Structure 1
Amino acid sequence: MGQPVAYFEITSTAPEKIRDFYTALFGWTAEPDPSMDDYAMVDTGAGPDAIGGGIGPSQAPGDTGVKIYVRVEDLEAGLARATELGADTLLPAMELPGGYGRIAVVADPDGNPVGLWA
């Protein structure tokens, strides 16, 4: 069984500008949440089976851009497999607030960030 793309994230050093761009371009809604450093959960308006996402501020130098999060059954096994295949860990496994599971982020062999979500 394949692993589905489960979430997308867009980070920027100018998150308000980027939020305005994507909401105007695609008709999405994305309200910043002050309790999450103005990170905004995106509603694409595509219904309950659509892939969700978020738009927010960059957290570190070089952390701007678009990344996907892929659903994995076992986060540690996914991290180990990614390392075997030449990935570097950018964000070690961590718990998401609110019981939303755990994530980690790796850089693929070309340096593209990819999130793993269990």
Structure 2
Amino acid sequence: MADPVVHFEIIGPDPAALRSFYSGLFGWDAPPGASVAPEISDTDQYSFIDAIPTGDSSGIPGGIGGGAQSAARATFYVGVPDVERALAEAERLGGTRILGPVRNEGGGVTVGHFRDPAGNLIGVAGPR
């Protein structure tokens, strides 16, 4: 069975401006203060966006965050059972580990980032 996309996030140096932009553009409600690992975003600047259902009731939750030291990026996360194993496999296949595994105790999730061979930043998330 293939691993699904489970989360997306938009990160930048001015998270308040990003929240305002995406609220105006798409109607996303994203109040700051969600639990997040500090390696991902300033902890008081991260916002979760609930999954917005499509016609078939599917939808992917997301987040907006960052802070003054954050590089702008949009990333999607693939759900995996073991983040370390997925990062090691990405490296074995020619990717480059960028972050992790990092545990967000408040959210009960472990995340990691890697760049694929073309340089795209991809996230993996799982229980460990």
Task: Calculate the TM-score normalised by the size of structure 2.
Answer: 0.79
* Alpha-carbon displacement from aligned partner over 1:58-99 (angstroms, at most 9, x marks no partner): 5756x3120001001222221111001111111121111225
Identity value in percent: 37
Residues 27 and 44 of structure 1 are in contact (CA less than 8 Å); yes or no, is this contact kept in structure 2? Answer: no
- Name the one with the larger helix percent: 1
The alignment yields a C-alpha RMSD, in angstroms, of: 2.2
Task: Calculate the TM-score normalised by the size of structure 1.
Answer: 0.85
Task: Number of aligned residue pairs: give it.
Answer: 117
Structure 1, unmatched stretches of 5+, are none
Residues 45 and 67 of structure 2 are in contact (CA less than 8 Å); yes or no, is this contact kept in structure 1? Answer: no
Residues 9 and 68 of structure 1 are in contact (CA less than 8 Å); yes or no, is this contact kept in structure 2? Answer: yes
- Name the one with the larger strand percent: 1
**Structure 1: 4+ residue segments shifted above 4 A:** 58-61
* Alpha-carbon displacement from aligned partner over 1:26-49 (angstroms, at most 9, x marks no partner): 111000118722111113543885
Counterpart for residue 42 of structure 1: 49
**Cα distance 1:89–1:21, how it changes in 2: closer, same or farther (>3 A)?**
same
Taking the TM superposition and a 5 Å limit, the aligned residue runs for 1:57-68 are 57-58=66-67, 60=69, 63-68=71-76
